[in-house]
Structures are given as C-alpha cells and as structure tokens.
Structure 1
Amino acid sequence: MSKEVIKNPWTTLSGESKYDNRWINVTEYQVLNPAGGKGIYGKVHFKNKAIGIIALDEDDNTWLVGQFRYTLSEWSWEIPEGGGPFEEEPLACAKRELKEETGLTAKRWTQIARVHLSNSVSDEEGFLFLAQDLEHGEVEFEETEADMKVMKLPLKDAVAMVDRGEITDSLSVIALQALARMRKI
C-alpha cells in the first residue's frame, strides 16, 4: 500500500516552548483544528531516536535488562534500549546500547521494526533490531543505570512475560511480539 499525500488539516497559529532540557522539548501550540475550532495542542519533541535490541543466541536465549523507572515508580524488565542522536545511524546506536547494557556484541543485525511511540502527543520514533552471532564482553553502564540487572532467559519465556503483562515497556512489547510472530512462537 502506498502512502497517500494528504494535506495537513490543522492550522498552527502560534507556538511557545514551555519546557526544554537535553532530552525533550515541550511546546504548546495555538491551533485551528480540522473543523476550524480554536484550541491548544501540546507536543513533546524528543531530541533522540529510541533504540531497542533483542539479542538472540544460537540456543534461542535472549537478554532482558531491569531497572527502576523513575517516571513509573516501579521496576521494569525490558529489552536493551536507549536513545541515539538523530545524526547517527540507528544501527550504530543499537550496537552501542547492546554493548553498554549487556556487554554483548553481535556479528549479524536485522532491523525488525520502525515505530512511532505516542503519535498523539510526541514525535518519538523508535527502531528495533535483532542481534545475532553474539560475543560476550563487559557491560559499560551509564550513571543512570547503576542499579540495572541483566537476565538471560529463553526467548519463549520473555514472550510469555509480555503475554502475562510482566513486560510493559512499549519497545520491548513491540519487538518481542514481532519476533514471536516472525518465528511462530
């Protein structure tokens, strides 16, 4: 199916940055909606792309990373993931994130998805990869990852964690379900 070019039905009257840091910018726009009514629209602009990786060994084992997520006030098991600068290729970012969080490097890489994570309020774009032919090394956690735990488990068990609602991170859910569908798990 080809993408049809559709004219933007929204009219932006003005925009004002309300918050800005090194990761995000929040802008409030005064708009005319598609019906012509006046309103506001808030947009969260992400200053990096989101990257997620499923590392898979020859025995169908994968690696999850766990950490306490400040925004949720709870522990979260996820695939290795992080952010990457827009000017850097997503694959280069994925290689770096996998090494940082698990110590793994991979000889074979496959992009399995490109997603928009919350297109109603943000422009965040994510890239998901499968990493295979793995080699082990040392983790290189960032300062915010000091409490991170790494768990190796069968891929089917990670998919079951998604099915039971134990993995709720969107990149992880999308990647694990996509791989399960591709591998008919």
Structure 2
Amino acid sequence: MSQLIHQWKSIRLEEEKITLPNGKMITHTTIQHPGAAVILPITPSGDIVLVDQYRPSLKKWLLELPAGTLEIGECPRECAERELKEETGYVAKKLVELGQVTPLAGFCDEIQHLFVAIDVEKKSDADLDDDEVMSVTVKSLQEIQTAIIANELTDAKTIACISKAQLCGYLS
C-alpha cells in the first residue's frame, strides 16, 4: 500500500513499504512520472535544433533538446511530434524511435523515450506552456560536442539522446 505525499500536475510523490529481493523490508519514496519524449531534431543541412530553457529548479538556463511529458493516454510518438512543434515550431518529415533511457532510477520511475526527427522544417512559432521560458537555437554537431566537453551543455537526456543517435548512425 502506498501513501501519496504530494502531487503536482501528473507527477506524484509516493511512499510505500516494499520487500527487496534480498528479503529486507524498507520504506521507499518514489516520484511517479508518466514518462517523456526527447527529440533530436536534425535539419536538412545536418544541424541540430535545441532549446535554451530556464530551469527554475536549478535557477539557471540549460541548453537541451526539446522534450516533454506524456499527456494522459498519449503515446510517446504523439508526444514527440507535439513537443517538437510546441517548443520549437519545427516539424519532421520522418520521426525515428531510438529506444529509451531511465534517468533517475534511484527515486523516480520516469522513462524517457528517445526520437530522431529527420529533415525538420520551421513551420510556426513556438507555442509554450505558461511555465516554459526558452528560446530556439540551431547548432552543428561539432558545436554541441564542444559545449558538452566544456560543461556548457550538461543536460543528461540531451547527451544520452545525441550519444545514442551517433551510435545508431544518425549523426556523424
């Protein structure tokens, strides 16, 4: 039996007594998250579309790929298409699934679904939520790699998605 401690939007903080595989009983607190889609938008020239987003939890700006939380009943692909358009105004000619990552498994059940958006085109202005403050920027893969090495790009989902896309042959 779990106990709800706090809820914000579709994210819940719950505490429950569980038995571990070694037989030990503990009280564990979990952030329950509906999941998210992370999108790597690649332009026809091979550049990558990112957002520079203000993150209130860190009280600073983060350079990252567009991403967003799945809505109730929404599949990851639909979320990826929606978030790409809402956050950047871009749409993709082709959207390819790359798999998933588990970013905070020690205390959160979120699964992030990774996508590559191929041949993206700017179709409209961004349509941001009230709590989103961001701007769109386009960079080459080399500029992004330099930013990662210099600790100017530290967002884990962005680094993971770019790495997986490189391993799968979508970036060179």
Q: CA deviation at 1:134?
A: 2.1
Does residue 163 in structure 1 map to residue 149 in structure 2?
yes
Matching residue's letter, 2:122: H
Does residue 127 in structure 1 map to residue 127 in structure 2?
no
Distance in 1 (CA, whole Å) between partners of 2:40 and 2:20 is 40
Structure 1 alignment gaps of length 5 or more = 1-13
Paired position in structure 1 for 2:28: 41
Size of the alignment, in residue pairs?
170
Q: Which has the larger radius of gyration?
A: 1
Paired position in structure 2 for 1:30: 17
Paired position in structure 1 for 2:8: 21
Does residue 54 in structure 1 map to residue 40 in structure 2?
yes
Distance in 2 (CA, whole Å) between partners of 1:36 and 1:178 is 36
Give yes or no for contact 1:158–1:176 (8 Å, CA) kept in 2: no
Task: Find the residue that maps to 2:153 and give its secondary structure.
Answer: coil
Alpha carbon RMSD of aligned pairs, Å? 1.8
Paired position in structure 1 for 2:160: 174
Task: Find the residue that maps to 1:129 and give its secondary structure.
Answer: strand
Matching residue's letter, 2:100: R
- For normalisation by structure 1, the TM-score amounts to 0.83
Distance in 1 (CA, whole Å) between partners of 2:31 and 2:97 is 26
Match of 1:109 among 75, 95, 100: 95
Give percent identity, aligned residues only: 26
Structure 2 alignment gaps of length 5 or more = none
Is the deviation greater in 35-44 or in 61-70?
Answer: 35-44
Match of 1:68 among 54, 69, 72: 54
Matching residue's letter, 1:26: L
1:72-87 pair list within 5 angstroms: 72-87=58-73
Per-residue CA deviations over 1:69-96 (Å, capped at 9, x if unaligned) read 1111221000011111252121111111
- For normalisation by structure 2, the TM-score amounts to 0.89
Paired position in structure 2 for 1:151: 137
